A and B are shown apart, each in its own frame.
Chain A
Amino acid sequence: MSTNYPILKIKNLKKNYHDLDGEVKAIDNITLDINSKEWISIVGPSGCGKTSLLSILANLEKPSNGNIIYQNDDIKVGYMLQKDALFPWKTIYENCLIGLEINHSLNDNNKKRVLDLLNTYGLSDFINKYPSSLSGGMRQRVALIRTLATNPDILLLDEPFSALDYQTRLILADDIYSIIKKEGKTVILVTHDLAEAISLSDRVVVLSKRPAVIKNIYDIKLTNKSTPSQNRKVKEFYDYYDKIWKDLDVHL
Chain B
Amino acid sequence: MSTYSNEHKEYLKEIKKNKILVLFFQVFIVISFIIIWEVTSRLDLINSFLTSSPTKVFNTLISLIKAHNLFNHIYITTKEVLISFGLASILGFIIASLFWFNKTIAKIFDPYLTVLNSLPKVALGPLIIIWIGANTNSIIFMALMISLFITIINIYSGFTNVDNYYITLLKTLNATRIQIFTKLIVPSNKKNIINCLKVNISMSLIGVIMGELLVSKEGLGYLIMYGSQVFNINLVITAVVLLAILSYIMYSIISYIEKRMVKN
For A101, list chain B residues within 8 Å (CB): 183
What's the Cα separation between A217 and B196 when bound, in Å? 56
- Label chain B's interface by main secondary structure: helix
Tell me which of A78, A79, A102 contacts B175 (CB under 8 A): A102
If A87-B188, A89-B188, A89-B190 touch, whether A79 touches B172 (CB-CB below 8 Å) is yes
B184 within 8 A of A: yes
What's the Cα separation between A62 and B15 when bound, in Å? 56
Interface size range on A against B: 10 to 19
For A103, list chain B residues within 8 Å (CB): 173-174
Residue of A nearest to B176 (CB): A102
If A85-B166, A89-B187 touch, whether A102 touches B174 (CB-CB below 8 Å) is yes
A97-153: which residues lie under 8 A (CB-CB) from chain B? 98-99, 101-103, 130, 150
Contact with A along B135-179 (1 / 0, CB 8 A): 000000000000000000000000000010110111111110001
Chain B residues bordering chain A, tally (CB within 8 A): 18
Residue of B nearest to A76 (CB): B174
What's the Cα separation between A79 and B169 when bound, in Å? 8
With both chains docked as a complex, state the minimum distance between the C-beta of A181 and any C-beta of chain B, in angstroms.
22
B264 within 8 A of A: yes
Residue of A nearest to B262 (CB): A89
For B171, list chain A residues within 8 Å (CB): 60
What's the Cα separation between A19 and B245 when bound, in Å? 56
State whether B168 touches A60 (Cβ < 8 A). Answer: yes
A75-101: which residues lie under 8 A (CB-CB) from chain B? 78-79, 81, 83, 85, 87-89, 98-99, 101
Binding site for B on A (CB under 8 A): 58-60, 78-79, 81, 83, 85, 87-89, 98-99, 101-103, 130, 150
Q: List 26 A-B contacts (CB under 8 A).
A: A59-B174, A60-B168, A60-B172, A79-B172, A81-B168, A81-B172, A83-B165, A85-B163, A85-B165, A85-B166, A87-B166, A87-B187, A88-B264, A89-B187, A89-B188, A89-B190, A98-B170, A98-B173, A98-B183, A99-B173, A102-B170, A102-B173, A102-B174, A102-B183, A103-B173, A150-B173
